[in-house]
């Protein structure tokens, strides 16, 4: 029987580093099998539905790998999604996905599940989340590479994200555009529809300057600020303050076929 990874965990190791560690099992009756036949390939992605970085190969016996110098970890600290693949020789045996999340808390998980069920099956409103392509760095067309200062407005290349490549393809998310519903918190509601609050899911994790397209209104909103709603030490949802983009904003090209 081929060996397998029985347990895998990820932990923050400071603001810009994470440590992945694993435990493995080898068949004790398979005398020909040996831990040196195995390797672990680790890669990461900033978005669960797009490509991963070039994998880094590690010996299975190392049991852990540390990634340092990670840029752009958000204030919530769970930007990257990790893929761990177990190989025996050239043969891929299994793939595991993992991301950095707060320590599991049973009560917080119950709150989050209840809220997500209400959003998905009772309110039933969806939006498209366009996440910036962060890992490739600044847009060379509209940002001064040396100083990091913007040098042009309304950049067609990055659609205003100021990131090389602009935005990823959208992911569908649930949205609560009327935050007093299901929260009983009227302070989240503003009469100004150009600056307002949306409640967004905890995963995939939205970030500042990401764009939300709320199809029901046909309007693009840019996320200006994010505040996680925390209960029992766990994140339940994200309160995003958003700004409606004017109709002539270059980001509307995202909606063109
Ligand atoms: Zn640009």
Query: Which tens digit of pLDDT belongs to each residue from 27-48?
Result: 989 888 999 999 999 988 876 6
| 83 and 12, same domain (yes or no) | yes
For the ranges 44-53, 143-152, 225-234, which has the lowest average pLDDT? 44-53
| 73 and 179, same domain (yes or no) | no
Q: Is residue 35 part of a domain?
A: yes
Q: Quote the pLDDT of residue 98.
A: 85
Q: Is residue 145 part of a domain?
A: no
Output phi, psi for 105, to 5 deg. -135, 120
Of the candidates 84, 99, 114, which is a domain's last residue?
99
Q: Is residue 223 part of a domain?
A: yes
| 235 and 125, same domain (yes or no) | yes
pLDDT by residue (tens digit) across 75-127? 555 557 889 999 999 999 999 988 776 555 678 888 888 888 888 888 899 99
pLDDT by residue (tens digit) across 166-199? 998 888 899 999 887 677 777 777 777 788 999 9
| Distance from residue 144's CA to the centre of ligand 1 (Å) | 10
| 95 and 113, same domain (yes or no) | no
| Distance from residue 158's CA to the centre of ligand 1 (Å) | 4
| Distance from residue 29's CA to the centre of ligand 1 (Å) | 59
| 111 and 195, same domain (yes or no) | yes
pLDDT by residue (tens digit) across 205-241? 788 889 999 999 999 999 999 888 888 777 789 999 9
Q: Is the dihedral of CA 184, 190, 194, 197 positive or negative?
A: negative
**Distance between CA atoms of 204 and 201, rounded to whole angstroms?**
7
Q: Give the number of other CB atoms < 10 A from CB of residue 164.
A: 18
Q: Is the pLDDT of residue 136 over 80?
A: no
| 63 and 172, same domain (yes or no) | no
* Higher-confidence position of 10 and 215: 215
Q: List the CATH number of the domain containing 61.
A: 2.60.40.10
Q: Quote the pLDDT of residue 137.
A: 79
Q: Name the pTM for this structure.
A: 0.71
Q: Is residue 87 part of a domain?
A: yes
Q: Is residue 83 part of a domain?
A: yes
| 177 and 248, same domain (yes or no) | yes
| 118 and 240, same domain (yes or no) | yes
Q: Is residue 45 part of a domain?
A: yes
For the ranges 9-13, 168-172, 243-247, which has the lowest average pLDDT? 9-13
| 113 and 80, same domain (yes or no) | no
| Distance from residue 222's CA to the centre of ligand 1 (Å) | 16
Cβ–Cβ under 8 Å, residues 6 and 23: yes
Of the candidates 58, 84, 99, which is a domain's last residue?
99
User: Which residue in 34, 33, 22 sits closest to 83, CA to CA?
Assistant: 22
Q: Which domain holds residue 206?
A: 106-131+167-255
Of the candidates 75, 99, 123, which is a domain's last residue?
99
| Distance from residue 170's CA to the centre of ligand 1 (Å) | 19
Q: How many residues does the chain have?
A: 257
How many domains does the structure of the chain reveal? 2
Q: Is the dihedral of CA 202, 225, 11, 64 positive or negative?
A: positive
| 63 and 113, same domain (yes or no) | no
| Distance from residue 161's CA to the centre of ligand 1 (Å) | 7
Q: Quote the pLDDT of residue 72.
A: 53
| Distance from residue 49's CA to the centre of ligand 1 (Å) | 23
Bond preceding residue 204 cis, omega within 30 of 0: yes
To the nearest 10°, report the CA torsion of 157, 51, 60, 5. 140
Q: Is residue 156 part of a domain?
A: no
| 223 and 201, same domain (yes or no) | yes
| Distance from residue 25's CA to the centre of ligand 1 (Å) | 49
Q: List the CATH number of the domain containing 183.
A: 2.40.10
| Distance from residue 148's CA to the centre of ligand 1 (Å) | 12
| 65 and 115, same domain (yes or no) | no
Q: Is residue 162 part of a domain?
A: no
Query: Residue 26, exposed/middle/buried by CB under 10 A (0-12, 13-18, 19+)?
Result: middle
């Amino acid at each position: 029987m081929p060996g397998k990874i029985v347990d895998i965990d990820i932990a923050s190791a400071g603001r810009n580093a994470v440590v992945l560690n694993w435990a493995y099992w080898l068949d004790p009756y398979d005398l020909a099998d040996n831990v040196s036949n195995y390797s672990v390939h680790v890669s990461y992605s900033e978005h669960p539905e797009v490509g991963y970085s070039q994998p880094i190969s590690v010996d299975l016996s190392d049991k852990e790998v540390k990634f340092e110098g990670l840029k752009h970890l958000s204030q919530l600290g769970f930007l990257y999604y990790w893929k761990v693949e177990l190989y025996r020789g050239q043969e891929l045996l299994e793939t595991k996905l993992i991301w950095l999340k707060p320590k599991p808390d049973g009560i917080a998980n119950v709150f989050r599940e209840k809220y997500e069920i209400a959003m998905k099956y009772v309110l039933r409103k969806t939006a498209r989340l366009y996440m910036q392509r962060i890992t490739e760095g600044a847009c060379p067309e509209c940002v001064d590479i040396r100083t990091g200062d913007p040098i042009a407005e309304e950049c067609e290349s990055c659609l205003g994200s100021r990131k090389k490549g602009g935005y990823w393809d959208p992911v569908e998310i649930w949205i609560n555009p009327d935050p007093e519903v299901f929260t009983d918190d009227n302070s989240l509601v503003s009469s100004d529809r150009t600056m307002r609050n949306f409640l967004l899911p905890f995963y995939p994790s939205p970030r500042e300057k990401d764009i939300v397209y709320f199809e029901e209104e046909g309007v693009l909103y840019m996320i200006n600020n994010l505040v996680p709603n925390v209960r029992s030490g766990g994140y339940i949802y994200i309160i995003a303050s958003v700004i409606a983009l004017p109709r002539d904003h270059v980001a509307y090209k995202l909606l063109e076929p």
